[in-house]
Amino acid sequence: MGAGRWTARARGVRAAAAAVAALGLLATGCGGGSGSGDGKVTIRYSWWGAKDRAELIQKTVKLFEKEHPNIKVKTDFSEYTDFWSKFNTQAAGGNAPDVFQNSYAFLRKYGDKNLLLDLNGQADAGNLSLKGFRDGLEKAGDIDGKLLGVPVGANTFAFFYNPDSYRKAGVTVKDGWTWDDFFAAAKKVRKSDGTRYGASDNANVMYLYDLYLRQNGKAFFTKDDKLGFTKDDLAEWWGRWQQHAKADELVPGKKSEQAKPKASISADLSASEFTWDNFLVRFAAETKTTLDLGPIPTTDGKRTGQYLSSLMLSGSARTQHPKEVAQFIDFMTHDPEVGKIMGYNRGIPATTAQYDAYQPQGVDAKIAAYEKSVSAKLEPITPHPAGADVAEAAFLRIYAQVALGQTSMGKAVDQFFNEAESALGS
Amino acid sequence: MTPTTTRAADGVRPPGGTTPGKATPGTRPAPAAGRRQGRRETLAGYLFLTPWCVGILLLTLGPMLVSLYLAFTDYNLFDSPKWIGFKNFQDLFADDRWWTSVQVTLKYVLIGTPLKLAVALAVALLLVKPRKGQGFYRSAFYAPSLIGASVSIGVVWRAIFNDDAVVDKSMSLFGWDVGGWIGDPDWALPTLITLTVWQFGAPMVIFLAGLKQVPGELYEAAEMDGAGRWRRFRSITLPMISPVLFFNLLLELIHSFQVFTSAVVIAGSGTNTGGPGDSLLVYGWYLYEQGFRNLRMGYAAAMAWMLMLGIGLVTAVLFKTQRGWVHYEEDAR
């Protein structure tokens, strides 16, 4: 008995020592990322997404480890907003993941705080190839001459609709249709479809409003980090949607809140909705209804204001292993096998090598056809200053309160400007 | 038996009968040896206290002081904090969402806590009399509060009260059509309050202990005088357990003010912030959002200190009023 107890205690002491050592590592800011005696290097890779993406990413990581036996990749994932809360905490403690999923909206926010690795140096050293990216994407992660992210996939905004409902209502969705056409269509669909509303109330979607502003020669954010529209502009946009919502043509605020986390269209509440084209993958899993992708309505019958946005991989400026991080990003963006595994889960692959390797089927084929159909209309992306994410969250939340009848339009517009301006100013 | 009587006095009650506190110095061994022994024990005592002392200095006092400092700064987690005096506090009072979070939290605390205590007391009254299967029922009612703080229970609650889920469907049978409760700004908070009321196990156990201390003679005497059930409850049970009631009230109030996990999980942090129309924006959540999402750590620290002030105030008021309604046995004698 005595001996057993002693070994147990010794084990306890060893565990405690290990814990203290681990704490020490964390405190010095290199937790887990250090190389061990056998020359093997461990890098941490974190990203946001759901379970389906997790399985695909595990496969690609295994593939990478096989090709680079000296590098071990530890993965970590959570949902979108939780991901950023966690990232902020880790980064503030000097313990950001070595490499992580990022998007255009966050490049400046973290770039300004010197948290992101400038990958230009690694590209020059030959650890990362910047060739072979599809049109419009080679400069996607370039912020003021620093390469802060490399795109893995790209997506663009789209009009989702239920072809059956629209056919029944006698509406055809066609290139160059206008916002008036869209609202008239929603009204018709609402009248002919007994169960669905004509459209989801998407007045709260910052990216859609951005397109509308771009059609009118403006944009949501300006190059000097300000809001690119006036209070009157916003009151007009929100007011227009509200008018149709009150006429019972759009999904009421309460219903769309209740449907969350599903989107109104995938909860079969509405016959149309605006969002990123790669969401078709997710919607196909959520609803049995077949959905099609159509063109964004316009102001002048020509310009949709669309652009490619992208999901990226970024490195931490504090990483101990910039070379391995660059090799990892290079593999994840260029390797054809990775392209085959990931499909359009993170948007259409950013490099031609991966794009060509994957033969889209089912909903993926729809997305591919849609992106092909809009490729000639694409323009440069609207800049996203630091604080853009906070402004987006405020835009969503405050309009939801309008739709729920909790606040007046005037008050809501004022509140949005207050919150957004203070977020952009900081 | 080698140990000295001091050890016996410190630990176990000597068979003779003096209570540990009343152990006289006379029972100790010779002074010199005793002092040495005493010093060794003091040393040992401090040694055993070390982890706790280190803990409170590093993990409680230190962070609190840092947080107090941060409350007067503009700090975004990454750049070094800039001193801005009372600006964070001024901004708080001008912040509509801060007021929303105060309102939501007060509603949660003021409705949830009394309800929870009432249920806890009612169930404790049912379970205090010995009956078959008592142990099972006690544990069954206590179980929800054991797992209560965990995320899983929030997830279950979410599943139950979601759109098209059990509650929604069964209510529709009776013609009460709310739809998803947690997505409805009018019903989200009541759902959250139901969750906290359901977790009445911990105060229930304390009530049980209190109820057992009430002398049976009092009830017998009252019954002889013709007092009915309600009268006995009001005139005997309530005053006799008032110290326990006070303790529970204090604990639950403080606890409720800090509600966070259940609100976040029920609202689904992945898609919402603050729940539908901010109806679930409890204080803790808004604090977290400002600190870790919007990177306004100084502002969040100021919020935390306002919360502490608020809880301190409520506690102080409760202690002031306890004279009026809390009866300790010593007072009677």
Per-residue pLDDT in tens (0 to 9) along chain A, 426 residues:
344 444 444 444 444 444 444 444 343 334 344 444 567 899 999 999 877 789 999 999 999 999 999 999 999 998 887 898 899 989 988 899 999 999 999 999 999 989 999 999 999 999 999 999 998 788 899 999 999 999 999 999 999 999 999 999 999 999 999 999 999 999 999 999 889 999 999 999 999 999 999 999 999 999 999 999 999 999 999 999 999 999 999 999 999 988 887 899 999 999 999 999 999 988 998 899 999 999 999 999 999 999 999 999 999 999 999 999 999 999 999 999 999 999 998 999 999 999 999 999 989 999 999 999 999 999 999 999 999 999 999 999 999 999 999 999 999 999 999 999 999 985
Q: What is the mean pLDDT of residues B310-333?
A: 84
Distance between CA atoms of residues B289 and B300, nearest Å: 8
Query: Least CA distance to B288: which residue of chain A?
Result: A85
* B135 has pLDDT over 90: no
What Cα–Cα distance (Å) separates residue B292 from each residue in A191, B32, B67, B93, B276? 45, 59, 14, 21, 21
Interface touch A79/B269, C-beta < 8 Å: yes
Q: Of residues B270 and A202, which shows the higher confidence score?
A: A202
Q: Where are the alpha helices (DSSP H) in chain B?
A: 5-10, 31-55, 62-70, 87-94, 96-128, 134-146, 151-161, 166-173, 188-198, 201-213, 216-224, 229-232, 238-240, 242-257, 261-267, 283-288, 297-325, 329-332
For residue A387, give the H/E element and its range: none
Q: Where are the beta strands (DSSP E) in A56-168?
A: 71-78, 99-103, 142-143, 146-147, 150-155, 157-161
Question: What pLDDT score does A46 carry?
Answer: 96
Distance CA A245, CA A95 (A): 46
CA of B178, closest CA in chain A: separation in Å?
10
Task: Please give the share of chain B, as a percent, with pLDDT higher than 70.
Answer: 86
Residues of A with CB under 8 A from a CB of B: 79-82, 84-85, 88-89, 91-92, 113, 115, 253-255, 257-261, 267, 390, 393, 397, 400-401, 404, 406, 415, 423, 426
Task: Extract the tokens encoding A379.
Answer: 């323009």
Q: How far apart are CA A309 and CA A354, in angstroms?
A: 18
CA dihedral A314, A319, A323, A326 (to 10 degrees): -10
Residue pairs spanning A and B at CB distance below 8 A: 80
- Per-residue pLDDT at B25 exceeds 60: no
- Residue A400 has its nearest CB partner, among B74, B270, B277, at B277
Calculated CA dihedral for residues B178, B181, B186, B192, nearest 10 degrees: 150
Chain A residue numbers touching B271 (CB-CB < 8 A): 81, 260-261
pLDDT value at position B27?
Answer: 52
Closest to A267 measured CA to CA, from A298, A242, A244, A288: A288
State the residue for tokens 């089927």.
Answer: A361
Cβ–Cβ of A84/B294 closer than 8 Å?
A: no
CB contact under 8 Å between A254 and B276, yes or no, is: yes
DSSP assigned state of B83: E
**Helices B201-213 and B134-146 sit at what angle, rounded to 10 degrees?**
140
Whether B277 and A257 lie within 8 Å, measured CB to CB = yes
Residue B283, SS3 per DSSP: helix
| Alpha-carbon distances of B150 from A67, A71, B107, B116, B191, rounded to whole Å | 41, 36, 22, 18, 17
Query: Given A254, A261, A426, which is nearest B268 (Cβ)?
Result: A261
Contact between chains at B294 and A423 (C-beta distance less than 8 A)? yes
CB contact under 8 A, A260 and B79: no
Does residue B158 contact residue B266 with C-beta atoms inside 8 Å? yes
Cβ contacts of A415 on chain B, cutoff 8 Å: 96
How many angstroms away from the CA of A260 is the closest CA of chain B? 7
pLDDT at residue B270 in the model: 57
Given a contact cutoff of 8 angstroms between Cβ atoms, the answer to whether B43 and B266 are in contact is no
Q: Give the minimum alpha-carbon distance from B270 to chain A in angstroms, rounded to a whole number.
A: 6
Q: Which residues of A touch B270 (CB under 8 A)?
A: 79-82, 261
Task: Give the least confident one: A23-27, B117-121, B186-190.
Answer: A23-27
Alpha carbon separation from A76 to A29, A50, A66, A71, A149 (Å, rounded): 18, 12, 19, 16, 19
Lowest-pLDDT range of A30-34, A298-302, B39-43, B207-211: A30-34
Give contacts of A258 with chain B, Cβ < 8 Å: 163, 179-180, 182-184, 276
A400·B269 Cβ contact <8 A? no
- Which tokens hold the place of A294? 């159509």
Which among A257, A279, A402 is the top mutation candidate for probing chain B, defined by the most B β-carbons within 10 Å of its own β-carbon? A257
- Higher-confidence residue of A202 and B151: namely A202
| Yes or no, beta carbons of B273 and A393 under 8 Å apart | yes
Highest mean pLDDT among A49-63, B243-257, B262-276: B243-257
CA A397 to chain centre: 18
Q: Work out the burial of residue A216: count CB atoms within 10 Å of its CB; fewer than 13 is exposed, 13-18 middle, 19 or more buried.
A: middle
* Test mutation, B98, B186, B272, B296, chain A, max A CBs within 10 A: B272
The yes-or-no verdict on residue B255 having pLDDT over 60 is: yes
* Residue closest to B36 by CA, chosen among B6, B1, B12: B6
Inter-chain residue contact B76 with A115, CB threshold 8 Å: no
- pLDDT, residue B161, reads 83
User: Which chain B residues contact residue A254 at CB under 8 A?
Assistant: 179, 183-185, 276
β-partners of residue A99 are: A45, A315
Which chain B residues touch A85 with a CB distance below 8 Å? 288, 292-293
Least CB-CB distance to A404: which of B179, B277, B295? Answer: B277
Query: What's the confidence (pLDDT) of residue B250?
Result: 95
Specify the pTM. 0.83
Q: Considering only CA atoms, which of A196, A104, A228, A205 is closest in space to residue A154?
A: A104
Q: Of the candidates B62, B90, B61, B60, which has an alpha carbon nearest to the alpha carbon of residue B74? A: B90
| Dist CA A419 CA A413 (whole Å) | 10
CB B74 within 8 A of CB B81: yes
Chain B residues at the A interface, defined by Cβ less than 8 Å, are 74, 76-79, 96, 163, 179-180, 182-185, 268-274, 276-278, 288, 292-296
The answer to whether the CB atoms of A260 and B268 lie below 8 A apart is: yes
- What's residue A304's pLDDT? 96
